[in-house]
Amino acid sequence: MSNAVQDSALETLLLPVFEGRVAWPSDGALFLNARDGWPLHRQPLPGLVAEQGFKPAFDALQRSGINLLDEADDRRFPLVLLLPPRQRSEARALYARALSRLTDGGVVLACQANDEGAKSAEADLAKLIGPLTVMSKNKCRVFWSQPGNAVNAALVDEWRDLDAVRPIADGRFLSRPGVFAWDRIDVASKLLAESLPGDLRGRAADLGAGYGYLSAELLSRCAGITSLDCFEADARALALCRRNLDAESKRLPIACHWHDVTSGLPGRYDVIVCNPPFHAQVGAERPDIGRRFIEVAADALNPGGRLWLVANRHLPYELALNTGFDAVNTITQQSGFKIIEAVRSRKAGGR
């Protein structure tokens, strides 16, 4: 699966450093919501420390030799870089966090693509720290504060908790801004949950579990499930999943794994449920990610094992399903989605 996607925001973020408009400090810098890419390796960036809660991006940074922030590291930095997320409350909370990690007289440097709300992101940072210097390049805006700018401490305090955990769905689940479908029950996942047969049993896994809705529905509808592994790449969502399934974990084994499903699974299962992602952090639609989820599910299921999957009707998953499974049935098509059951052969060797 190719991940060769141009990251214009990352490239533009570092232009002020490469052009000498922002000095790289001798004490190093902190990069929040960091992503790896060639701009991080174009020239030495001594003392760079990165933070990332999305497992594929974290793994890419680690493989490339970038130092990752330790949870116990509470240092302040003279330069904090960040790529604001799309969700505005999450982005504002990240700005507040960036300022809390900044030394007196330090600089915040941020960049966002124009079509992801760059002007709003720039305006938000200006509200917190005053006038900014701005450049436009690669259909992105990069903007940074001036050394010694006065911080709006009251607004920082207000924004710090904008992405705080809160109840949703009449209090049934905990969620927070920025995770997938954070303020609602996802329509596709709900359709899949309502389609699950009650006879699913054995060891189960939820691939891309999010905050845990589909896992909770599986356990409530299928009494024969004996254990559940939840795999989720977003660390913030995984923490919510763990909390939302806490009551169920008292009656059967539940494990929540911060994991990149595309790298394969460590266990074997009788049941897998999945609403696979089809977007990465950067770039357009990525149906190859969903196809890889299907391949991984086929490899991880025991003989006779069953995959229950929901996907947008237009996504081309049929070849992967027919290659990996011995029986593929479209259960229903509603509201632009398709529900599919795929079954592995009971014979040794399966496919």
Shared domain for 252 and 149, answered yes or no, is: no
**350 in any annotated domain:** no
- What does the mean pLDDT of the chain come to? 94
Shared domain for 61 and 139, answered yes or no, is: yes
- Which range marks the domain in which residue 188 is found? 166-343
**337 in any annotated domain:** yes
Which DSSP string do the residues of 218-235 spell out, in sequence order?
HHHH-TEEEEEEEEESBH
Up-side HSE of residue 71: CA atoms within 13 Å toward CB?
A: 1
Shared domain for 176 and 152, answered yes or no, is: no
Residue 3: per-residue pLDDT? 44
Q: Token pair for residue 31?
A: 């990069």
pTM: 0.93
**What is the CB neighbour count within 10 angstroms for residue 175?**
24
Q: Percent of the chain having pLDDT more than 90?
A: 90
Residue 316: per-residue pLDDT? 87
Q: Token pair for residue 329?
A: 């049935």
Which one, of 186, 142, 184, 178, lies nearest residue 275 by Cα? 186
The answer to whether 121 and 178 have CB atoms below 8 angstroms apart is no
Q: Is 304 left (phi over 0), alpha (psi -120 to 50) or beta?
A: left
**39 in any annotated domain:** yes
Say which residues have a Cβ less than 8 Å from residue 200's Cβ, sequence separation at least 6: 218, 222, 224, 225, 271, 306, 308
CA distance 81 to 9: 12
The number of distinct structural domains making up the chain is 2
Residue 149: per-residue pLDDT? 86
Q: Is 284 a residue whose pLDDT tops 80?
A: no
Residue 348 pLDDT grade (very low, low, confident, very high; cuts 50, 70, 90): very low
Helix (H, G, I), strand (E, B) or coil at 7: coil
Shared domain for 127 and 252, answered yes or no, is: no
Q: Token pair for residue 6?
A: 């141009």
Residue 278 pLDDT grade (very low, low, confident, very high; cuts 50, 70, 90): confident
Residue 79: per-residue pLDDT? 97
Which DSSP string do the residues of 173-229 spell out, in sequence order?
EEE-TTSTTTTS--HHHHHHHHH--TT-EEEEEEET-TTSHHHHHHHHH-TEEEEEE
> What does the pLDDT look like over 184-224, one tens digit per residue?
999 999 999 999 999 999 999 999 999 999 999 999 999 99
The answer to whether 106 and 81 have CB atoms below 8 angstroms apart is no
Shared domain for 302 and 190, answered yes or no, is: yes
CATH number of the structural domain spanning residue 132: 3.40.50.150
Which one, of 82, 74, 136, 121, lies nearest residue 100 by Cα? 74
